[in-house]
């Protein structure tokens, strides 16, 4: 067996160990070469630990929304020993600290994307391929701010998700 065969086997083993072999899409793999998140960000979600930092950096390296399982599989493939439950907890804490955007895929699974600044964004997501595009949310923000101001509630947050079929997927459908 040549080197490529061996590494493919090792990658397959990592995916199987993570319990997500069938969900692992090549285009969503964690790319360790992208710039890391600022190191202090992990303190936003509690005591900084090497494993939380690994999860944060891996999420920051993903351009697309990613599930906890897929991120975990990518970390394992890159040699990390972080546990899936730590990945889940860290991603949930990042979302609560407004450092990750969260959407749900067609199966209801939560997908996460690192948010590099405190600006809060909304996305239009393709149900077929997972493409996500930031959208202008001015009217939604104005409405949410107004409700927060007049309701007497503290720390009002909102979740707005828009889903559809992207141009590329519509074209692929038309061509088939």
CB of 160 to Zn ion, least distance (A): 6
What letter would DSSP give residue 108? Answer: S
> Residue 64 or residue 78: which is nearer to Zn ion going by CB?
64
CB of 126 to Zn ion, least distance (A): 3
CB of 151 to Zn ion, least distance (A): 16
> Residue 8 or residue 98: which is nearer to Zn ion going by CB?
98
> Residue 17 or residue 170: which is nearer to Zn ion going by CB?
170
Closest of 171, 49, 54, 60 to residue 115, by C-alpha: 60
Q: How far is CA 122 from CA 25, 60, 62, 141, 152, in A?
A: 24, 18, 17, 10, 25
> Residue 29 or residue 169: which is nearer to Zn ion going by CB?
169
What residues line the site for Zn ion (CB under 5 A)? 120, 126, 128-129, 131, 166, 169
CB of 45 to Zn ion, least distance (A): 21
Contact 158, 140 (CB under 8 A): yes
β-strands 100-104, 110-114: how paired? antiparallel
């Amino acid at each position: 067996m040549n080197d490529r065969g061996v590494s493919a086997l090792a990658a397959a083993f990592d995916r199987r160990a993570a319990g997500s072999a069938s969900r692992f899409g090549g285009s969503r793999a964690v790319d360790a070469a992208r710039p890391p998140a600022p190191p202090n960000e992990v303190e936003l979600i509690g005591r900084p630990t090497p494993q939380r930092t690994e999860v944060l950096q891996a999420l920051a390296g993903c351009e697309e929304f990613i599930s906890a399982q897929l991120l975990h599989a990518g970390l394992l493939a890159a040699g990390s020993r972080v546990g899936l439950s730590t990945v889940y907890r860290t991603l949930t804490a990042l979302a609560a600290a407004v450092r990750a955007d969260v959407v749900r895929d067609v199966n209801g699974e939560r997908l996460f994307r690192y948010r590099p600044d405190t600006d809060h964004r909304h996305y239009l997501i393709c149900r077929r391929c997972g493409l996500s595009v930031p959208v202008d949310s001015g009217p939604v923000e104005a409405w949410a701010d107004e409700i927060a101001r007049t309701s007497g509630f503290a720390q009002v947050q909102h979740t707005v998700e828009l889903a559809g079929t992207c141009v590329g997927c519509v074209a692929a459908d038309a061509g088939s």
